[in-house]
Amino acid sequence: MTNKSPSYFEQVYAIVRKIPPGTVSSYGRIAAMLGRPRAARAVGYALNALKDKHGDPQYANIPWHRVVNSQGRISIVNRETSRNQQAELLKAEGVQVTDRLTIDLDIYLWPGLHWLEIDDIVHGR
């Protein structure tokens, strides 16, 4: 039996599912956790692709709204989703979002996963 590693998008989703309520991560930090520090844009593409999975229960609970850019600013991930919707979802979890749609990363940045947890995700364990 072969143990096939999950696709990059599936790896992104696995990490995003681990971001606790009330915290955020960045596209670049997620890419770095997956060993591809220059692939922040690919993380954004993965989250944008969730719109095509609408209605699929496997993808229903991915907290995409907890991912912001490296400056702590809300970026449009999905054209169907407004920045204000992302801000409202974060506020509902206790994250303070400024009028300029920024989050203080010194307060709300999730430290990420331990390398063993990342290894399990990358290798599909």
- pLDDT of the residue at 51: 86
The verdict on residue 100 lying in a domain is yes
- pLDDT of the residue at 84: 85
- pLDDT of the residue at 13: 97
CATH of the domain at 62: 1.10.10.10
Residue 119 identity (one-letter amino acid)? D
The verdict on residue 84 lying in a domain is yes
Domain that holds residue 79: 8-122
pLDDT in tens, 54-89: 889 999 899 999 999 999 999 865 555 577 889 999
pLDDT in tens, 21-58: 999 999 999 999 999 999 999 999 999 899 888 889 99
Does the CA dihedral 7-9-10-12 come out positive or negative?
A: positive
SS3 107: helix
Pairwise CA distance, residues 9 & 71, whole Å: 23
SS3 62: coil
120 has pLDDT over 80: yes
Tally the domains of the chain: 1
| Residue 53 DSSP class | G
Pairwise CA distance, residues 93 & 105, whole Å: 15
The two structure tokens encoding residue 57: 């229960």
* H or E segment and range at residue 120: helix 115-122
- pLDDT of the residue at 1: 43
The verdict on residue 1 lying in a domain is no
